[in-house]
Amino acid sequence: MITITKQKPLEEILPSLGKGKKVYIIGCGTCATICHTGGKAEVLEMKEKLEAEGKKVTGWMVIPTACDELTREALAENAEAIEQADAILVMSCAFGVQTVTMYSDKAVYPALNTLFVGKEETPGHFIEVCMQCGNCVLATTVGICPLVRCAKSLLNGPCGGSVDGKCEVSPDTPCAWQLIYDRLKALGQLDKMEEIVPVRDWSTSTSGGPRRFVLTDETND
Amino acid sequence: MKAGTNLEKVLESGRFAVTAEAGPPKGTSAAVMQRKAEALRHCCDAANVTDNQTAIVRMSSLAGCVIMKQGGVDPVMQIVCRDRNRIAIQSDVLGAVALGIGNILCLSGDHQMFGNHPTAKNVFDIDSIQLIQALKAMRDEQKFLCGDDISGEVPLFIGAVANPYADPFEFRVARLAKKVKAGAEFIQTQAVYDIDKFAKWMEMVVERGLDKQTHILAGVIPIKSAGMARYMRDYVSGVTVPDELVTRMEQAQDTKVEGAKVAVEIIEQVKEIPGIHGVHIMAVGWEDIVPEIVKQAGLLPRPVL
Ligand code: SF4
Ligand code: SF4
């Protein structure tokens, strides 16, 4: 599982940095490195681009895992160069951006779009398989998530747009419900498709404010 | 009688029903809907008013239904799950009933990427089968989805759609069964062009006895031009248009006359298929042709019940 990111266009990054001339760049050695969006090579490339646009880069670092607690220490170790900057540009997923925000008083800006939490299907091809809905239905859908993989998050089988195994939205997207159907058929459990799945409780995925969870002794009872 | 609408009366009396479709305008003109009502009034038992079909913003189905009703046509309000959550949908249903609308058709809805607001956020809070269930509970138990009581009656005649041409083919009958179990009292199918496949599907439907539990109306989309035939074949998801039909339209002298003729032939053929209780003619943007098709198919006059 990695967080899939894509670089924002420079035309969006530059104005977001505002008038500030001096920038400190932070990359991430984990997901953003795998995605080739915020590893050492990309950080250095960004440094060049910013300098070409008249910015001064006061320093840079690639934190092993930007979303980790150790980011606080990395920021402290590099406090001098960071202090000189007007802004920090973070080339990690939004978790890393927000972690830096938590531990620094500087203005922090994202250089990447966080697309989704996914997996690498084949080299360079990433796919979303779970949106952390908080109320997993994989038990009834034989391990294939309809919430994410069906374009309409349907729970009661394929819509009328499913043709030749493809989703109506794109010939490149398999219909999630065809996948589920085929697997249920192979397992001799097609009767599961006949049951009506009642309306879903979405409050676990879209409650007010950030979702939180506290570990307690009873958590896993 | 569940709602006592004209459509329900015709179907429950065992007559062969004719429904049509009226697409609301991309604007504010009531006159456009009035004209459609005028064109359809004498040739169909009810008319569906689409709900932002293919995700293109149009006058709301609810408003369109009211105008159709004022124009003397029994309206079928379409509701898609794409744009509204359970709160908005239930509220619209209450409003529809208050305004005298009794037929509601439940659909998932085309994905917004096909429409004119592809950057919109979709909803899909509930799906079409859950929507049918919700309407049934509103009517039979006078309860909202949350379990709270509804004040007043909610007389509804509940409909749904079925697409025999979508995949997996074998599941299409099971999906219909789910809709019937959820509470669908009438079904309008996707446009039929490939009669053999449709007949095969209906055979399976009859085998399961579903034709006895719901009224199935075969969908018919009259084709206006060779270009439309090609477009439907190549780009409309979930529709199967055989190549022979495209060729026939390409060779036709007058494509409109030919298109109407094809529609009549389809109606005549589906009428003979056991278990079919009516036809649903979707001539969106070409409503004027519907009276002619219904007449040629020998389905006029429509019963007055
Ligand atoms: S149902 Fe889908 S989105 Fe929800 S937890 Fe399971 S895999 Fe993730
Ligand atoms: S075609 Fe399949 S994946 Fe696409 S929206 Fe319909 S059911 Fe979902």
Strand partners, B159: B105, B186
* Chain B interface, best mutation among A133, A150, A152, by max B CB count within 10 A: A152
Span A160-164, average pLDDT: 93
Same structural domain for residues A6 and A111? Answer: yes
Distance from the first to the final alpha carbon of chain B? 13
Span B133-154, average pLDDT: 98
Span B40-69, average pLDDT: 97
pLDDT at A221: 58
pLDDT at A207: 65
Span A58-82, average pLDDT: 96
Same structural domain for residues A22 and A90? Answer: yes
- Whether residue A136 lies inside any domain: the answer is yes
- Whether residue A109 lies inside any domain: the answer is yes
Q: What is the rounded distance in angstroms from the CA atom of residue B305 to the CA atom of residue B299?
A: 16
Q: How many domains does chain A have?
A: 2
Nearest CA to ligand 2 atom 5: A151
Nearest CA to ligand 1 atom 5: A136
pTM above 0.90, yes or no: yes
Last residue of a domain, one of A67, A87, A115: A115
* Cβ-nearest to B167 among A165, A190, A197: A165
Q: Check A162 against B129: CB less than 8 A apart.
A: no
Same structural domain for residues A107 and A11? Answer: yes
Same structural domain for residues A82 and A137? Answer: no
Q: Check A152 against B238: CB less than 8 A apart.
A: no
Nearest CA to ligand 2 atom 2: A175
The letter for the amino acid at A26 is I
- Whether residue A210 lies inside any domain: the answer is no
Mutate to test the pocket of ligand 2, among A175, A179, A180, A181 (most ligand atoms within 8 A of CB): A175
- Whether residue A93 lies inside any domain: the answer is yes
The answer to whether A34 and A120 have CB atoms below 8 angstroms apart is yes
The helix/strand/coil state of A6 is strand
- Whether residue A10 lies inside any domain: the answer is yes
Q: Check B171 against A193: CB less than 8 A apart.
A: yes
Same structural domain for residues A108 and A155? Answer: no
- Judged by its nearest atom, the ligand closest to the C-alpha of residue B122 is 2
Q: Tell me which residue range forms the domain holding A159.
A: 132-204
Minimal-distance CA residue of chain A relative to B190: A160
Alpha-helical (H) ranges within A35-175 are 40-52, 71-77, 79-84, 94-103, 146-149
Same structural domain for residues A52 and A94? Answer: yes
CATH architecture of B6-222+273-285: Alpha-Beta Barrel (3.20)
Q: What is the rounded distance in angstroms from the CA atom of residue B176 to the CA atom of residue B184?
A: 9
ipTM of the complex: 0.92
The answer to whether A42 and A75 have CB atoms below 8 angstroms apart is no
- Judged by its nearest atom, the ligand closest to the C-alpha of residue B171 is 2
Cβ of residue A97 lying under 6 Å from some atom of ligand 1: no
C-alpha B110 chain-centroid distance: 14
Same structural domain for residues A98 and A144? Answer: no
CB atoms within 10 A of CB B115: 17
Q: What is the rounded distance in angstroms from the CA atom of residue A161 to the CA atom of residue B227?
A: 22
Same structural domain for residues A20 and A84? Answer: yes
Query: Which pLDDT tens digit goes with each residue over A76-102?
Result: 999 999 999 999 999 999 999 999 999
